[in-house]
Amino acid sequence: MIVNPITDGIVLDHIKAGRAMELYQVLNLGALQCPVAIIKNADSKKMGRKDIIKIFEVIDLDLDVLGYIDPGITVSIIKNGELVKRHGLELPERVTNVIRCRNPRCITSVEQELPQVFKLTNREKGIYRCIYCDTQAKHSK
């Protein structure tokens, strides 16, 4: 397998094994005109197995969405063949339009145009609560 080095782009590393395709879809990477490489089940000393996504273009990514889906991801920005920035992600304090409130009496069920906003209330257990009705949603770690 040969995956060319990135001159300008983004590497999503330390993705939990098996989650790369979910990220590919959530980030709508199929709509990009640049190459995107997905490496599944790569050997990792730290994790045992991991997935990696290489995007051969610098694009805007919602780091909160990435952090919610898989808080262990490392995001590396490459420009002119050099690493210019590395982000270690964690569960974000707030997520908007990522989780849907399942409470049928929540205002978001009636007022469809309202954003679905959840705040992190318990980092250790990955518990988020709707800011409108306080309904609990648990992050699937």
pLDDT tens per residue, range 90-133: 899 999 988 899 999 999 988 989 999 999 999 999 899 999 99
Alpha-carbon 51 to chain mean position: 13
Q: Give tens-digit pLDDT for 4-22.
A: 788 999 999 999 999 999 8
Report whether 30 contacts 24 (CB < 8 A): yes
Asked if residue 79 and residue 40 are part of one domain, the reply reads: yes
Q: Give tens-digit pLDDT for 67-95.
A: 998 888 999 999 999 999 998 898 999 99
- Residues of the domain holding 32: 9-88
Q: Which residues contact 62 (CB under 8 A, 6 or more apart)?
A: none
User: Does residue 71 lie within any of the structural domains?
Assistant: yes
**How far is 91 from 102, CA to CA, in rounded Å?**
21
Q: How much is the average pLDDT of 14-34?
A: 91
User: Does residue 80 lie within any of the structural domains?
Assistant: yes
DSSP 8-state symbol, 134: -
Asked if residue 132 and residue 78 are part of one domain, the reply reads: no
